[in-house]
Structure 1
Amino acid sequence: MPPVRDDDGRVSEDFLALARAAVDTEDAPALIGLAGDLHEADVADLIESLESDRRVPFVRLLGEEFDYAALTELDEAVRLAILDELPNDTLAEGIGELDSDDAVYILEDLQPEDQAAILEQLPYPDRIQLQRSLDYPEESAGRLMQTDFIAVPPFWSVGQTIDYMRDAEDLPETFHEIFVVDPGFRLIGAVPLDKILRTKRNTKISAIMTDDPETFKATDDREEVARSFERYNLVSAAAVDDAGRLVGMLMIDDIVDVIQQEAEEDLRGLAGLGDEEISDTVLVTARSRLNWLVVNLGTAVLASVVISLFEGTIEAMVALAVLMPIVASMGGNAGTQTMTVAVRALATQELDARNMWRVLRREVLVSLLNGVALAILVGLCAWLWFDSVGLGVVIASSIVVNLFFAGLSGLLIPVALEKMNIDPAIASSVFVTTVTDVVGFFAFLWIAALWFQLPL
């Protein structure tokens, strides 16, 4: 059998060809032998590598050997397309085998009537657990948590706890700590597994538990939870309800997914791409991008209006039209640099009221220093190019002015948008570009009109 992946980490062409052939000939045993034992991430990559009309037959042919956890690794558009074509009873059977967090991840993509139909076919305890998770807000920790966990009373001994875990049939697939609860199921402590293994059997759990474990409310925003996991190097943590009762367990693998998703959202937002996926159709992608392109068109018109105010100046000295784009481009790049730093700092809460003025002062000074360095370089080039010292002075001065405003707007605009509860990752670039274009054109043409005494 050929390797699943080639040297570049992609699904190998030989392996993909065998999968295609098995799907086309409806050879279930061959497909099961090929993909039945693959890791869920490899199955997901294989599905995405297949043509769209082969994906659902691939899932159906694998039957009970298909790990529905692979659906959580797919691009949203691919996952939704597969879910739309699979019957609810098939989905219920597959989802019933998953950890609760993975099951919720799939269920939340379905229509409410399909969710209800699938939940109705699950055992009552599983149904209640999943419904409770789905009742939490979409971006909350409650949607991430596993509802399977180990909880013991504080008066149990280490030996009792170990024997209980050995005898239990419904343990979580993976866990790193045991939670300690009182009779009302309120969380009072936690014990890492390594501490249990190092402790004598007759020792009470209360003697080795951590009295103040890291805990999150199920209603907490998932991004805040991910930030705490990153800050405190957590591997798992308890999720509790508003009364402090233990309702779930948060695991690092789900938190890593959140961190990656949030980073991708910020990156796409800076480019005005919204939440599009690489698997989206042409129509969906075009519609997603069009909105921000229209907004950019409006800002471009504003910059053109500023240029039109200096029609006479440009007509009197054509060289100005040649050099104008340099000023705007340098300001736009400098503003984007500052804006990217600011958006990321806001997302990670590294930028707040306590250090904003210090960061603003730093960014403005950096912009001024870079502005002076670039002004000297561009000014000399303009002087030699057009044999005009005055033109060199004009463009040098306008670059310094524009880079100053680039640094200022690159920080203040994301901060202002954050204060107005507008996502700075999505909206900042349009406003920063507008400022640098308008200021750049205006400064350059106005200084040129004054220096050369040209008509406006």
Structure 2
Amino acid sequence: MSEAELPDIDEARETGLDEDDRLKPAFVRAILDAVEAGDNEGANALVEPLHAADIADLIEIAPADMRASLAAAISERIDGDVLAEMNDWVRDALVDALNPRQLADIAGELDTDDAVAIIEDLDEEDQRAVLRALDPDDRAAIEEALSYPEESAGRLMQRELIAVPEHWTVGDVLDYLRADDQLTTDFWEIFVVDPAHRPVGTCNLSWVLRTPRVVSMTDVMKREQTLIPVDMDQEEVALRFQKYALISAAVVDPSGRLVGVVTVDDIVHIISQEAGEDALLMSGAGDGDINEPIRDSYQARVRWLIANLFTAMLASGIIAAFGGAIEQMVALAVLMPIVASIGGNAGTQAMAVAVRALATNQLTKSNTLRTVRREILVALMNGLTIAVLLGSGAALLYASPMLGMVIASAILLNILVAGLAGVLVPVVLERLEQDPAVASSVFVTMVTDSMGFLAFLGLAVLSGLVTMG
């Protein structure tokens, strides 16, 4: 590319983000063109004003075969904050290209939780190499975090926090914060601990700044606090933050000692991640990440399609059993998909409500029966409405009041069954300690399709509208 063909850096930089703070295609293209032309200085000039999250987006948006060269061209801009914001699949690919010393330097810049997120997915040999290259204090903190289960509070928490003895005054705390330049600089809560390092209270930084120096911390602090067990699942941690409107919370080990803190910025990420995972699991789409390797996406999706194949064969078997009846009246074949489709949609609605309620602890053993009754009532109202509309339409279209009554009865019955299955299938899976988001859709679809065909064709035979022969 000639010098005349290189992008106008000033113009591209000024218009890099659109009104929704997303990178514009022309801006991305300008950076990639500069990289391809070997103009690393121009690429860096474009990237220079971007936030770490935008740089992470830039690398994710770039074609897979250009990410390595792009990262090399703007390597001075890629730090721990950029890697922490990056998509897991893209980050793993870039991390594999870095040597242990580079990774150690990046990890040393980050809070413990972000450093762990980068190191935990490395091969065991690479993990050991990176840990050896870290400073002793950082290595000890990260090794401790890696000893906790994945997706637990121990992996999520930061070790960087402010904890002070309960006998200190506000003045002691202020002097300590000003004198020790090794303390973390990003905090808004101070934890008060007893001699065994167990948290006895918490105090907002603003309270300390507005309180006279002579006042004891025990007189300023709030004794009621939400403590997070170190082995608690991150989804449960997020629910506690949501329920109690927390900004941060102390993490304690089995003996009650303060070992870390979870902050709301981590929880926002977890809530988004868990919500996305549930939606994708319900659809059988695996991780559902556009950066996921094609082979991994195939393996994640095909097993559920195979499961759906076998459940669909059950519905097909029901249709085959009524083959003679269908031959006598073409309208049955025309109307059957409507019964199954509407029942499936009703089941999906109830299932989505139940899975979300289970995920947020709104649906528990104490209110399961009440929830089931509620969904049955909603299904009954929906079923009556659709039954009247569909039954009337079928009776008029085919000049057969009996056909209208049959399909109205079938749709009402199928929607009732769909509402019941939509709640009970996720609840049963949850009671069996299985993720209700994973397999609920397969079972609910099987129930609604099979019941829809069976109810419609069976009622048609029972009513004398058609015969089995």
TM-score by length of 2: 0.94
Aligned to 1:412: 424
Instruction: Tell me the CA shift for residue 368 of structure 1.
Output: 1.2
Deviations 1:227-252 (A, max 9, x none): 00011110011111111111111110
| Closer, same or farther: CA 452–230 of 1 in aligned 2, 3 Å | same
Which ranges in structure 1 are unaligned for 5 or more consecutive residues?
Answer: none
Do 1:303 and 1:441's aligned partners in 2 also have CA atoms closer than 8 Å?
yes
Do 2:379 and 2:416's aligned partners in 1 also have CA atoms closer than 8 Å?
yes
Aligned to 1:385: 397
Do 2:460 and 2:466's aligned partners in 1 also have CA atoms closer than 8 Å?
yes
Deviations 1:152-205 (A, max 9, x none): 112222122112212222232421111112233222222111110110112121
Aligned to 2:218: 206
1:100-119 alignment, distance < 5 Å: 100-119=112-131
Candidates 318, 325, 329, aligned match of 2:337:
325
1:235-250 alignment, distance < 5 Å: 235-250=247-262
Candidates 95, 99, 115, aligned match of 2:107:
95
Q: Is residue 343 from structure 1 mapped to residue 355 from structure 2 by the alignment?
A: yes
Do 2:287 and 2:297's aligned partners in 1 also have CA atoms closer than 8 Å?
no
Instruction: Tell me the CA shift for residue 33 of structure 1.
Output: 3.2
| Closer, same or farther: CA 297–169 of 1 in aligned 2, 3 Å | same
Matched to 1:435, the amino acid is: V
Identity %: 48
Q: Is residue 289 from structure 1 mapped to residue 308 from structure 2 by the alignment?
A: no
Aligned to 2:279: 267
1:358-377 alignment, distance < 5 Å: 358-377=370-389
Q: Is residue 11 from structure 1 mapped to residue 23 from structure 2 by the alignment?
A: yes
1:3-402 alignment, distance < 5 Å: 3-402=15-414
Deviations 1:381-432 (A, max 9, x none): 1111111111111101111111110111111111001011111111111111
Task: Give me the whole-angstrom Cα distance separating, in 1, the residues matched to 2:46 and 2:174.
Answer: 38
Task: Give me the whole-angstrom Cα distance separating, in 2, the residues matched to 1:11 and 1:314.
Answer: 56
Do 2:165 and 2:193's aligned partners in 1 also have CA atoms closer than 8 Å?
yes
Instruction: Tell me the CA shift for residue 28 of structure 1.
Output: 4.1
Task: Give me the whole-angstrom Cα distance separating, in 2, the residues matched to 1:54 and 1:86.
Answer: 16
Deviates more, 1:255-264 or 1:198-207: 198-207
Matched to 2:158, the amino acid is: Q
Instruction: Tell me the CA shift for residue 89 of structure 1.
Output: 1.6
**Structure 2 residue matching 1:257: 3-state secondary structure:** helix
**Structure 1 residue matching 2:191: 3-state secondary structure:** strand
| Closer, same or farther: CA 104–36 of 1 in aligned 2, 3 Å | farther
Deviates more, 1:7-16 or 1:371-380: 7-16
1:401-440 alignment, distance < 5 Å: 401-440=413-452
Matched to 1:168, the amino acid is: D
**Structure 1 residue matching 2:366: 3-state secondary structure:** coil
Deviates more, 1:76-85 or 1:258-267: 76-85
Matched to 1:141, the amino acid is: A
**Structure 1 residue matching 2:284: 3-state secondary structure:** coil
Matched to 1:117, the amino acid is: A
Task: Give me the whole-angstrom Cα distance separating, in 2, the residues matched to 1:58 and 1:158.
Answer: 50
Do 2:252 and 2:258's aligned partners in 1 also have CA atoms closer than 8 Å?
yes
Matched to 1:92, the amino acid is: A
- Cα RMSD of the aligned pairs, angstroms, is 1.6
| Closer, same or farther: CA 267–347 of 1 in aligned 2, 3 Å | same
Which ranges in structure 2 are unaligned for 5 or more consecutive residues?
Answer: 1-12
Aligned to 2:10: none
Query: How many pairs does the alignment contain?
Result: 456
Deviates more, 1:33-42 or 1:370-379: 33-42
Task: Give me the whole-angstrom Cα distance separating, in 2, the residues matched to 1:11 and 1:392.
Answer: 55
